[in-house]
């Protein structure tokens, strides 16, 4: 009886998505989750200071990572240079506090645009810490980017300038640039997961003292929102790492700037924030200069790999 059945046609095989397409989807997920996180930061900012929010962000992140850490806790914490990890985590925690403060006090679009200056800060750090050779084009692009910051802030203009929010955003970007530079050094002999584990554990430890000075017990609903903020922050970081791992760095960098659009839309509809023309123009200059630096570094890296393969 079974021999009389017609043959079953094989199911069509869907072509696999290209690595850059899959990476782009991860980067978009990172940008969306980042927007959710910053929205919660700003929404809770009136009642929970930045230091306290940072503590809950680190605590929730560590809880999310705990199952992975427990699988092989010895391997997760194995390091030959704990001093650098301590310094990187301390700077990263302070950078997070400054970043949260900036998102609480500034319009979302402006705070987000200033956060992208971390790429500009990495230029002098690469020269003085990594001892990298930096040409005039890269230096010029960084200087143009900082001119974009001046356009955004309009120092000297009535109602504009370097307030505490703007200073916190720039300080945070500079410190995050330091942690990224430290990551470049550490990834030579450490896995990204080890760096993430040390950052999560030490980040929680370092966030306790500043949080204690402004401590308050959250309401049940607020506790859920603070926990959600921490979980979403961890998801943001994981999606970003996955996107950069799958896709080409030069192709992924522009997609990361979709955060500017998402935060501007949320700022307008949720917090009634309208980006000013100086913010829009200055942000465009910062984005253009950082993209130039990213693409140029990508091209130089490919040339270096090609030259090494030819040898």
Q: Report pLDDT digits (tens) over 136-156.
A: 888 888 889 889 888 888 765
DSSP letter at 197 equals H
| pLDDT band with cut points at 50, 70 and 90 for residue 102 | very high
State whether residue 27 is helix, strand or coil. helix
| pLDDT band with cut points at 50, 70 and 90 for residue 7 | low
- Counting runs of H as helices and runs of E as strands, what totals does the chain give? 13, 0
CA distances from 231 to 35, 228, 280 (A): 13, 5, 30
User: Which two tokens mark 209?
Assistant: 């003292």
In 108-256 the beta strands, taken as DSSP E runs, fall at none
- Residue 209 has, within 13 A of its CA and on its CB side, a CA count of 7
Lowest mean pLDDT segment, chosen from 10-14, 109-113, 186-190, 237-241? 10-14
State the pTM of this model: 0.84
User: Which two tokens mark 176?
Assistant: 């995050």
Cβ neighbours, 10 Å, residue 305: 10
> What integer is the mean pLDDT of 259-275?
91
Calculate what percentage of the chain has a pLDDT beyond 90. Answer: 35
CA distances from 258 to 32, 34, 126, 233, 254 (A): 9, 11, 26, 17, 7
Per-residue pLDDT, 36: 95
> What integer is the mean pLDDT of 292-302?
78
Q: Is the pLDDT of residue 160 over 70?
A: no
**Average pLDDT taken over every residue of the chain:** 84
């Amino acid at each position: 009886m079974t021999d009389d059945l017609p043959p079953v046609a094989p199911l069509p095989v869907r072509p696999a998505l290209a690595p850059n397409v899959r990476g782009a989807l991860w980067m978009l997920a990172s940008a969306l989750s980042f927007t959710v996180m910053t929205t919660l930061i700003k929404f809770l900012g009136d009642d929970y200071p930045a230091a306290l929010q940072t503590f809950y962000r680190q605590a929730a992140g560590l809880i999310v990572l705990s199952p992975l850490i427990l699988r092989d806790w010895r391997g997760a914490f194995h390091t030959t240079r704990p001093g650098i990890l301590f310094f990187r985590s301390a700077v990263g925690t302070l950078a997070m506090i400054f970043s949260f403060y900036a998102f609480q006090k500034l319009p979302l679009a402006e705070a987000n645009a200033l956060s992208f200056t971390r790429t500009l800060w990495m230029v002098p750090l690469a020269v003085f810490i990594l001892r990298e050779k930096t040409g005039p084009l890269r230096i010029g692009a960084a200087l143009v980017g900082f001119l974009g910051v001046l356009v955004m802030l309009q120092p000297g203009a009535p109602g504009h300038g370097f307030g505490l929010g703007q200073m916190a955003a720039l300080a945070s970007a500079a410190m995050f640039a330091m942690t990224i530079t430290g990551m470049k050094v550490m990834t030579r002999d450490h896995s990204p997961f080890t760096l993430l584990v040390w950052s999560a554990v030490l980040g929680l430890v370092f966030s306790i003292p500043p949080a204690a000075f402004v401590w308050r017990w959250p309401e049940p609903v607020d506790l859920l929102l603070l926990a959600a903020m921490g979980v979403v922050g961890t998801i943001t970081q994981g999606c970003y790492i996955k996107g950069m791992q799958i896709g080409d760095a030069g192709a992924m960098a522009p997609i990361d700037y979709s955060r500017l659009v998402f935060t501007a839309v949320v700022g307008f509809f949720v917090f009634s924030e309208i980006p000013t023309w100086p913010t829009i123009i200055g942000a465009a200059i910062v984005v253009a200069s950082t993209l130039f630096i990213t693409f140029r570094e990508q091209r130089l890296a490919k040339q270096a790999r090609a030259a090494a393969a030819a040898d």
